[in-house]
Structure 1
Amino acid sequence: MTDVSGQSFVPSAAVGPKVAKASVAHRLRVLREQAGMSAATVAATMDWSVSKLTRIEKGEVTVQPLEVRALLAHYGVTDEDLLADFSRLARTSRTRQWYSRHRLNGAFADFVAYEHEAVAIRIWQVLFVPGLLQTREYARAITALTLRTDPNDEQVKARVDLRIDRQQAFFERLGGPDSPRLMSVIDEGVLRRPVGGRDVMLQQLDHLLSLAESTGAVELGVAPLDLERHSGLGGSFELLQFSAESHGDVLFVEAAAGHDFIRTDQESTARHGALFQDLLDYGRTGDRALQLIRSIRDEMRGS
């Protein structure tokens, strides 16, 4: 992404609706500030409420291409390439995706949309197997436990269906443009905890090994129980990266009681990137990680 004085708004590579909406929102806010105009002044000129303009600039809502062009004209932007870039992104941002049918909201909705467009997904999980790597049976069991309800509850079913849809969307992108890669470090305690019973957990361990062995897109690491230099005790997180310079890194933390949050500031994402690297440096990766998973599976199978 270049300054508004440059010839390019975003890299020529295609982006998805979430990154497109975020890009439009950010640049519209920058343009208004560079023009020295207040939100109230611009909203009055456009015959909008200040709330509408604010929500557009925060990326909370999409904006129509004609509205974008009207705003750009008000800001004195005349470069046709830049106008075309804005219009393209505005159209892209309004494209409906598979996750629209799940009616998500809040930080988790933003996370699912960002995850679907990320080219690198790095996950540290200290509590359970990451959602993108769960079997349906494990997903039902862990969701029922966290919600303290029956595995057949409708709320459990809805959450599991979303998780399976996230997995399907991830694997459907493999081999295509900006094919994603997933690297997950999992705490050893997660692998030993028989969520759903021994049979369910054995299937889950087999599934992890199968993913790591059959696709080059999934890599696994393990933070062993005897790890002394453990940087991940502060909690689980997922760090997303995108193609070229289309969007900065996105950090997602799934907290208790639904208090999820997203961070995009460089300080937070860089800190967690370094933390993840610590886990790779001091934990087990590659064949050593898979050997540990196999040994845990064999122990559980023989017990």
Structure 2
Amino acid sequence: MLKELRETSGLTIEQAGDAIRRSDSTISRIETGKRDAQVIEIKGLCEAYSAPADKTAELLGLARQAPAGGLWTAHEAAFPPTLETYLGLEEVARSLRVFALATVHSLVRTPATTHAILRAGLPTASEAEIDLLAEAHMARQGVLTREPVPAELEVVLDEAALRRPVGGRAVLLEQLDHLIHCAENVPNITLQVLPYDKGAHGALNGSFTLIDFPDPAEPQVVYCDTPGGNLYLQKPHDTRRFTQLYGRLCGAALDPTDSTEFLRTLRQEM
């Protein structure tokens, strides 16, 4: 059905991939049944193909009946539409390399930290809305324990993300304890701390995530969450630039062992 819709629209496989930020080989594998299509991919393709509403509804219905529904499907009512593309990428990623500047990254946050950050960003939302959204964000952490192969997560945390008392002292202490636990006990998580005394670095203007996929044919994606909207970069010169930047940040940061000790010392100071 997707292939028929694409051909009717006149788009090539490459153009379809560009429309939803996927490789042409991914579109080909979806059309030949060699790869399951995610709900967000179907929605994006149907929009790109100007598919009739009944066809779109039928395809989405089929996808949602699949045995393994995605995170977006389960929490569609909670997440804002602007996160839809990122969640789909995060859910199927082989590895995520993150630089976190102002706050601890969502995949290693505690529920209390998540709740406090959402409350600060959505001051007019009801408590029930915040609770629902916090629960949905915590569900994202399932990518780290999924079977059979959990995602690999590497995080460089700027010291600013660790000292800001999000939610108050008790919440911060719990968050630091959780980071220490992740660093010491979760083999697919690597944490590094970039201390203040390292001075200026190349990512002072914001956080970013490098996303890699199990299929080598799937291009790397760089995700930047900016005040002006979500930015996805996939051109080789962009991904190369951010990969090199991430390497410099890792080189400037404390190694994982010293980072864990830094977290312990910081907790004592608090």
- TM-score computed with the length of structure 1 as normaliser: 0.68
Letter in 2 for 1:154: A
CA drift of 1:153 comes to 2.6
Q: 1:168 aligns with which of 142, 152, 168?
A: 142
Match of 1:217 in 2: 188
SS in 1 for 2:262: helix
CA drift of 1:170 comes to 2.5
Change in CA separation of 1:195 and 1:58 when aligned onto 2, cut-off 3 Å: same
Report if aligned partners of 1:55, 1:61 keep a CA contact under 8 Å in 2. Answer: no
Match of 1:97 in 2: 70
Match of 2:156 in 1: 185
Letter in 2 for 1:279: L
User: Which consecutive residues of structure 1, in runs of 5 or more, have no partner in the other structure?
Assistant: 1-23, 29-41, 63-67, 69-81
CA drift of 1:267 comes to 1.5
**Per-residue deviation, residues 83-120 of structure 1 (Å, max 9, x unmatched):** x8841236545554232132256552111111111111
Structure 1 position 245 matched with structure 2 position 220: no
Separation (CA, whole Å) in 2 of partners of 1:90 and 1:218: 27
Letter in 2 for 1:261: L
**Per-residue deviation, residues 21-46 of structure 1 (Å, max 9, x unmatched):** xxx9xxx8xxxxxxxxxxxxx98x95
The answer to which of 240-249 and 212-221 deviates more is: 240-249
Structure 1 position 272 matched with structure 2 position 251: no
CA drift of 1:213 comes to 0.5
User: Which residues of 2 match residues 1-303 of structure 1 at below 5 A?
Assistant: 48-49=8-9, 56-60=16-20, 86-89=31-34, 91-93=36-38, 94=63, 96-103=69-76, 108-149=83-124, 153-173=127-147, 176-177=148-149, 179-256=150-227, 259-300=229-270
Report if aligned partners of 2:143, 2:151 keep a CA contact under 8 Å in 1. Answer: no
Q: Which has the larger radius of gyration?
A: 1
Separation (CA, whole Å) in 2 of partners of 1:261 and 1:107: 10
User: Which consecutive residues of structure 2, in runs of 5 or more, have no partner in the other structure?
Assistant: 39-62
SS in 2 for 1:232: coil
The total of aligned residue pairs comes to 235
Separation (CA, whole Å) in 1 of partners of 2:9 and 2:188: 46
Letter in 1 for 2:240: A
SS in 2 for 1:216: coil
CA drift of 1:228 comes to 2.6
Letter in 2 for 1:282: A
Report if aligned partners of 1:229, 1:282 keep a CA contact under 8 Å in 2. Answer: no
Separation (CA, whole Å) in 2 of partners of 1:57 and 1:219: 32
Identity of aligned residues (%): 23
- TM-score computed with the length of structure 2 as normaliser: 0.76
Separation (CA, whole Å) in 1 of partners of 2:121 and 2:96: 24
Separation (CA, whole Å) in 1 of partners of 2:190 and 2:13: 42
